[in-house]
């Protein structure tokens, strides 16, 4: 007999699937991670997975959106430290993302982002991008900035490129590994500079 979940139990399970699945995508690759791997990580059936998500691609988009909630909580935490100047709080957010001590942020490989996008209908991709823009508008406002000046789309692009880049920079061929930390700091300062000057 199938297990019956309460609404809150179902939402908790959905979140667990999203977070486990994103971690598997980031660790093993999108194409190398099957729906069976995802459901096994949460101890549920494929059937239950497909009652929550119509496809693996839709699951991936929802997993990426779920990660935004974690970022929002972190930004809220740092921006609440009103004993520090706003510029310092924003730097502390970027620094915490770089350190990623609690392994909160995991990033898809660039090739995987292309694979997901290639299998998602353009209409759904447009919706995803609208949601991302709205999310980064909330982040910009939370940082005390005006989205009309500090463009949420630019902040979203900077965040995506920056964090995806720093997640792959160590050990990457053709880079001077002895100055990786300084390189990351230069990128971080450019990201920070855009936010604080707009």
Q: What is the pLDDT of residues 150-173, one digit of tens each?
A: 999 999 999 888 877 777 777 778
Q: What angle do CA 143, 145, 147 make, to 5 degrees?
A: 120
Q: What is the pLDDT of residues 29-71, one digit of tens each?
A: 899 999 999 999 988 889 989 999 999 999 999 998 888 888 8
Distance CA 152, CA 136 (A): 5
- Model confidence at 195, pLDDT cuts 50, 70, 90, reads very high
- Please tell me the predicted confidence (pLDDT) of residue 136: 96
Per-domain residue ranges for the chain? Answer: 55-197
For residue 163 the two structure tokens come to 């964090």
- Please tell me the predicted confidence (pLDDT) of residue 99: 81
Half-sphere CA count of 46, side-chain side, radius 13 A? 6
Q: What is the pLDDT of residues 81-92, one digit of tens each?
A: 999 999 999 999
Alpha carbon of 14 to those of 50, 77, 134: distances in Å?
11, 25, 23
Q: Is pLDDT of 5 > 80? A: no
Burial class (CB in 10 A: 0-12, 13-18, 19+), 24: buried
Q: What is the pLDDT of residues 96-148, one digit of tens each?
A: 888 875 555 667 778 888 888 899 899 999 999 999 999 999 999 999 999 99
φ/ψ (deg, to 5) at 143? -80, 5
Q: Is pLDDT of 1 > 50? A: no
- Please tell me the predicted confidence (pLDDT) of residue 175: 86
The Cβ of residue 55 has, within 10 Å, a number of other Cβ atoms equal to 13
Q: What is the pLDDT of residues 176-186, one digit of tens each?
A: 989 988 988 99
pTM equals 0.83
**R_g (Cα) of the chain, nearest Å:** 18
> Cβ neighbours of residue 195 under 8 Å, at least 6 residues apart?
90, 140, 143, 145, 150, 155
Topology of the domain covering 55-197: Tetracycline Repressor; domain 2 (1.10.357)
- Please tell me the predicted confidence (pLDDT) of residue 23: 87
Alpha carbon of 49 to those of 4, 96, 97, 153, 179: distances in Å?
14, 33, 30, 32, 44
Q: Is pLDDT of 2 > 60? A: no
């Amino acid at each position: 007999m199938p297990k019956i979940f309460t609404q809150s139990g179902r939402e908790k399970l959905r979140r667990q699937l999203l977070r486990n699945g994103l971690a598997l995508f980031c660790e093993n690759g999108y194409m190398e991670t099957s729906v069976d791997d995802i459901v096994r990580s949460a101890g549920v059936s494929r059937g239950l997975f497909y009652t929550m998500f119509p496809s693996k691609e839709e699951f991936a988009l929802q997993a990426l959106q779920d990660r935004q909630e974690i970022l929002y909580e972190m930004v809220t935490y740092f921006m609440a430290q009103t004993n520090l100047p706003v510029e310092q709080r924003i730097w502390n957010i970027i620094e915490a993302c770089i350190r990623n001590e609690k392994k909160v942020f995991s990033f898809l490989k660039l090739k995987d982002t292309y694979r997901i996008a290639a299998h998602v209908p353009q209409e759904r991709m447009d919706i995803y991008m609208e949601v991302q823009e709205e999310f980064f508008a909330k982040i910009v406002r939370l940082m005390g900035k005006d989205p009309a000046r500090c463009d949420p789309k630019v902040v979203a692009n900077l965040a995506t490129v920056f964090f995806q880049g720093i997640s792959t920079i160590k050990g990457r061929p053709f880079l001077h590994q002895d100055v990786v930390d300084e390189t990351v700091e230069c990128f971080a300062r450019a990201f920070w500079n855009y936010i604080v000057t707009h």
